[in-house]
Chains A and B, each alone.
Chain A
Amino acid sequence: MSDTRLIPLSALQHYAFCRRQCALIHNEQAWSENWLTAQGQQLHQRVDHGLPESRKGIRYERGVEVSAPTLGLTGKLDLVEVEIATGVCFPVEYKRGKPKQDHIDLIQLCAQALCLEEMLNINVSHGAIWYWQTRHRHQVEITPELRQETLSIIDATRSLLNSGQTPKAKYEKKCQACSLYDLCNPKLTFRDTSRAYVKTIYQENADEETAK
């Protein structure tokens, strides 16, 4: 058995959202639910628990576990659609929200495709993301550019997690939506006032003395 640490697929998305969040969740094992994450969990419970079924020449497999040692990834896929005749795989990721401006969701889907490719030694050319808020399914092409971007995020995530370091917080607007807000406390470490604070403990002492 190799002892290399496999990075969970979910870490890529956490990394893309916030490097500190990624380190907090995957290294410091901090986790806290807010209503956004709770809703996501509920949605995934529904998706993951379906039994495999076949319809019109396609097999639907849910909660498919994958690991790709070469990529250094492991994780669980919401849904994989397999064309029975050809064996072509098509990963589908379920998202609670709606399509985003950035590539976060696409990168996660691409990483899933890469895992399937490594495990099955096939080519995965397309996948889809299903958004719960808009009830729309978006077909995504796994282009060379997307692959490149995904690989570099995988590399960056791996080196962050292997470093054991948790990056300092930087307070931004998106912090408000983060379920780890209280555990991270971005405003607190954004500007570290601990030295001054400790000094005042002794300082107040001196003030009281002179007041006498």
Chain B
Amino acid sequence: MKKLQNSLYITRQGAYLHKERETLVIEVEKEKAMQVPIHAIQAIYCFGNVMVSPFLMGFCGENGVHLAFFTEYGRFLGRLQGKQTGNVLLRQTQYKTAELKPESISRNIIAAKITNSRSVLYRHLRNHGENADVNQAIVQMSSSLRRLQKRDNLDSIRGIEGEAAAFYFGVFDQLILPSVGKGFEFNTRSRRPPLDRVNALLSFLYSVVGNDITAALQGVGLDPQMGFLHQTRPGRDSLAQDVLEEFRAWLVDRLVLSLINRKQIKANDFEIEVSGAVKLKDDARKTVLVALQNRKQETVKHPFLNEDVPIGLLPHVQALLLARHLRGDLAEYPPFVPR
């Protein structure tokens, strides 16, 4: 399997990154803050005012190192893309499938999304005892899943996705432990901008993980913009959003819940703007990224491959499986549904 190397997250404002022979140097206020061998790096994510030398950009482009830029607050701005690689025939099949028969891939992805979201609820029941509302949501989501199996047009697949998400987020508030204290109330999913702290955390991590998925899709030669479930819209990585559905609950939501419930993130780690928009503070963003990075190093048994895979490589594995399905090696796209 492809090697899981390190992702670097640069959150220090005013940092300057450049290449010195075979190493990457991070300078802060003209002082060397860090120097690492460049070949051990898979991705560099820059948040806010971070400068990158043209030579380092060139290296990233040539070697498939993912280099992406975000605002200080984690909104995606852009990424460096090297030479277009991969199979143009694969992309052609991807476009044809998206246009002519996007249903089966979409349905499989949503089945995974519902199952994985429901697992988060089951997990809560296991760890914290019975809860009638959560139980009720599980029953409703199971019913959605059952009906999903028979749906073969996109609109009704999307409809079932919507209702299952409503059941899930309807009880999400109850997964946050009472001991956490004030500030982490969750009403409903809000974005652009997130209107409460929980949503701010969710949005930030969805965006970071979404970018890993984009990179993984490009890595196997798929076009991250041409989705099956999400409508094509200029500037949106619809396919990355499709694949992200499998990972939202299992990877991001669980991480957010444990950061909050273990009090690694506190109410004063956020700034609230006059508009009501909620943003993570600089240090807290670092805490979140470190937690994600640690999680990415853990391994998990991939349910379809039956192999231990580092979590950070899962997007790559799913991208590969999707490509294999599109190229006719696999009859169905096997989404990620951990047991």
- Which residues of A are in contact with B by a Cβ distance under 8 Å? 27-30, 32, 164-166, 168-169, 182-183, 185, 188-189, 192-195, 197-198, 201-202, 204-206, 208-209
Contacts and interface: CB of A to CB of B under 8 A. Distances in A.
B247 to A, nearest CB: 15
Interface in B203-234: 221
Contact of B89 (A27, A185, A189): A27
Contacts of B335: 198, 201
Nearest to B112: A201
A81 to B, nearest CB: 35
A194 B221 contact: no
B337 interface: yes
B324 interface: yes
A193 to B, nearest CB: 8
Q: Is the interface of B mostly helix, strand, loop or mixed?
A: loop
A169 B324 CA distance: 11
A193 B112 CA distance: 17
Contacts of B149: 202
18 contacts: A27-B89, A28-B327, A29-B86, A29-B87, A30-B86, A32-B2, A169-B329, A188-B330, A192-B330, A194-B304, A194-B331, A194-B334, A195-B331, A201-B108, A201-B335, A202-B111, A202-B146, A204-B115
A182 B1 contact: yes
Interface in B136-165: 142, 145-146, 149
A197 B321 CA distance: 13
A186 B127 CA distance: 40
B328 interface: yes
A188 B324 contact: yes
A185 B115 CA distance: 26
Contacts of A29: 85-87, 221
A202 B90 CA distance: 29
B86 A28 contact: yes
A185 B320 contact: yes
A158 to B, nearest CB: 16
B69 interface: no
Contacts, number: 76
A192 B324 CA distance: 11
Given A166-B329, A168-B329, A194-B334, 11 more contacts: A28-B87, A29-B85, A165-B328, A183-B320, A188-B329, A189-B330, A194-B325, A195-B332, A197-B334, A201-B335, A204-B115
Contacts of A189: 324, 329-330
Nearest to B305: A188
B2 A182 contact: yes
Nearest to B84: A29
Interface in B285-339: 303-305, 320, 324-325, 327-335, 337
B246 to A, nearest CB: 11
Contact of A194 (B145, B146, B333): B333
Contacts of B2: 32, 182
Contacts of B108: 198, 201
A41 B331 CA distance: 37
A201 B86 CA distance: 31
Nearest to B149: A202
B330 A28 contact: no
Contacts of B337: 201
Contacts of A209: 142
A30 B89 CA distance: 12
A27 B240 CA distance: 24
Contacts of A193: 304
A205 B145 contact: yes
Contacts of A198: 108, 111, 332, 334-335
**Residue with the greatest number of chain B CB neighbours at <10 A, chosen from A27, A183, A188:** A188
Most buried by A among B85, B221, B329: B329
Nearest to B330: A194
Given A205-B142, A208-B142, A185 B324 contact: yes
Contacts of B90: 28
A13 B330 CA distance: 27
A189 B2 CA distance: 18
Interface string B102-114: 0000001001100
B334 A205 contact: no
A161 to B, nearest CB: 11
A189 B325 CA distance: 10
